[in-house]
Amino acid sequence: MSAPQRPEQPPQHRPGETEWIPRVTDTPRRDEPFHFTEEQPEPEPAPAMTWAMRILGLVAVAVLSGVVYWYITINDKPAGGGAGQQTTAAPREGVYDFAVHPQVKTPRLDTDCPGHAYGKTKTFLAGPGVCTKLVQAAYTTKAEGRDVLITVSVLHLSSQDKALELQALTMENNTGNVSDLVLQKVIKVDGLDSLAKGGGYQSRVEGSVITIVEGDFTNRGEKDEKTLDAVCEDALRLGKTIDPGA
């Protein structure tokens, strides 16, 4: 019978000898070539995306500019607005600076023209179909260091001939006129019961519309019709302010 096989025993080392242990490493062997890893470039954005971003940027700038412009504009506007609803602001161009009278903040409109006139002017306006609308407003200004009150009256007549006829009538003496707002007691001024007594007067005809302006100083003192006429002449432009159809 043969001798039983014994498991292989590890080699025995003599005293003083070092046991050999194989090295484990991840680095390539010297005989293997070294492989370089190239970095992949970042993908460039698509042309459509680039243009979309540019357009959005331009739109944002435009919107911001619009907001700034709106803010500046809305804070520059004077108070005022639609006819018959808010105060009608006087235009600034011209010789004199006119301000809306505080007792008449909105223009007064009426179709009863003769009801706001006196003398021969009243009789003329009472003719059938002669006058269809009357708009009146009041303003204040300063001339020669004194306060001036004026009334602006805009009348819509049936024709230009009628408007010219009314203009000629009101320029004559003792023929009456359209009643100013002081005479109608709409505006109350101490010591002043009408703007027609020694005050200024001017009128203008455009088509079938006539604008009549009367004015006077609100404080007692020497009358100066030349200055008052100049104020009334400048105030004729206010007719289109109180009535865009004038």
Confidence of residue 223 (pLDDT cuts 50, 70, 90): confident
Confidence of residue 215 (pLDDT cuts 50, 70, 90): very high
Percent of the chain with pLDDT over 90: 55
Q: How far apart are CA 49 and CA 217, in angstroms?
A: 72
Confidence of residue 48 (pLDDT cuts 50, 70, 90): low
Percent of the chain with pLDDT over 70: 65
Reply yes or no on whether the pLDDT at 1 is more than 80.
no
pTM of the model: 0.63
What is the average pLDDT across 162-179? 95
Question: What is the SS3 assignment for the chain?
Answer: CCCCCCCCCCCCCCCCCCCCCCCCCCCCCCCCCCCCCCCCCCCCCCHHHHHHHHHHHHHHHHHHHHHHHHHHHHHHCCCCCCCCCCCCCCCCCCCCCCEECCCCCCCEEECCCHHHEEHHHHHHHCCCCCEEEEEEEEEEEEECCEEEEEEEEEEEECCHHHHHHHHHHHCCCCCCEECCCCCCCCCCECCECCCCCCCEEEEEEECCEEEEEEEEECCCCCCCHHHHHHHHHHHHHHHHHHCCCC
Residue 78 has what pLDDT? 37
Residue 75 has what pLDDT? 44
